[in-house]
Amino acid sequence: MSSAEIYVGSKSDDGSAVLSKRFSSGYEEPTLVKEKFGVYLIKNNTGTFGDIFKITFLRPMQPRSSREIDLTLGKTSLIWAFHQDKIPSPLGEITIHTSKNSVIDCDLFSSSSFKKNDGKDNDGKVDSQKNKSPFMDNNSLIKLHGSMMFLGWCVFAPAGILVARFFKVIF
Confidence of residue 114 (pLDDT cuts 50, 70, 90): very low
Q: What is the pLDDT of residues 17-76, one digit of tens each?
A: 877 778 777 777 777 777 667 778 888 888 888 887 788 888 887 777 776 777 777 666
Q: Is 84 left (phi over 0), alpha (psi -120 to 50) or beta?
A: alpha
Does this model's pTM top 0.75? My answer is no
Fill in the DSSP letter of residue 92. S
Give the model's pLDDT for residue 54.
Answer: 82
Which residue, among 16, 19, 45, has the nearest Cα to 117 in the 3D structure? 45
| Domain spans of the chain, in order of start | 4-132, 133-171
| Mean pLDDT for all residues in the chain | 70
**148 pLDDT exceeds 90?**
yes
